[in-house]
Amino acid sequence: METMRWGSTALMLLLVGGCGSSRDDLSMEVVTNLPDGDGTGSNASGSYIVDLKTESCSGTCPTVAAFGLSFSICQEGKTFLNKGVTVVQNSGHLDVTVLSSALYVTELAGGIDQDGDYDVGGATTELSGAVQITARVTGTITADHQITGTARAWGFGEVDGTSINCIGTFSLTGSCSGQCGNSGADAGRPDLGVSDYGIPVDGPSVDTCVDPPTCTSDSQCCPGKKCVGQPGNKTCK
């Protein structure tokens, strides 16, 4: 059961594959080192409800067979409605937690400017680094807590002998639904269980949380634990 669960997670993380331009600005180095902006205060903070839509697809985005099921890597036109996103602004720094499996890279960070323009990114790996996923979101958060943007994600690696090198582009719109302007907004833990694509992802629900035998990121661990140890031999503690 554990093998299927983590394999499903790695596979479904690649479903963000869609379209985009150059891969250079989606590299692991770039998306994990985005600078702060010149923003001040914490007005952009809050709990947001957003809608996302897969706008287009490019690259190697095959249909992958795994665990007796067939999955479409890129689903142009697919929508993800009423998804939770927590935003925390500390002056020019912005932390974003996606409380949904829509993008699969759930933790993003970067900067926000005084005019509300933001640029955040993040990355993760699965299967001991065999599969890599990066994501970057740019857009604007207005003074009255409306959020718009474009999200792009790049999944590349190999699943059951099938190569994947797929970039996805999503449109994003939404508004603040609570704790608006509160820099102490708590994102909590990204949702677990059944993904937006209809199969299991990243572990059981919090109520029955069981740590995996090994891990590659903190998000795979139960609440209150971190993924620690030597590369290739990390565990949740």
- Least Cα distance to 90 among 63, 69, 118 occurs for 118
146-175 average pLDDT score: 88
Neighbours of 189 (CB within 10 A): 15
SS (H, E, C) the chain: CHHHHHHHHHHHHHHHCCCCCCCHHHCHHHHCCCCCCCCCCCCCCEEEEEEEEEEEEEEECCEEEECCEEEECCCCCCEEEEEEEEEEEECCEEEEEEECCCCCCCEEEEEECCCCEEEEEEEEEECCCCEEEEEEEEEEECCCCEEEEEEEEEEEEEECCEEEEEEEEEEEEEEEEECCCCCCCCCCCCCCEECCCCCEECCCCHHHCCCCCCCCCHHHCCCCCCEEEECCEEEEC
Closest CA to 98 of 86, 89, 81: 86
**Which one of 55-59, 86-90, 191-195, 219-223 scores highest in mean pLDDT?**
86-90
Instruction: Please compute the mean of the pLDDT values over residues 103-108 and round it to a whole number.
Output: 81
Give the residue, 156 or 66, on which the prediction is more confident.
156
Given a cut of 50, is residue 189 above it in pLDDT?
A: no
Nearest to 218 by CA among 237, 199, 233, 200: 237
More confident residue, 185 or 192: 185
Query: Does 96 have pLDDT greater than 60?
Result: yes
Scanning the structure block, which residue is given the tokens 């790695």? 10
Predicted model pTM: 0.70
pLDDT at 39 over 70: yes
Strands 107-112 and 93-99 turn out to be antiparallel
Domain-wise residue ranges, the chain: 2-190, 204-237
Residue of higher predicted confidence among 5 and 122: 122
Q: What is the mean pLDDT of residues 66-95?
A: 81
| Per-residue pLDDT band at 22 (split at 50, 70, 90) | low
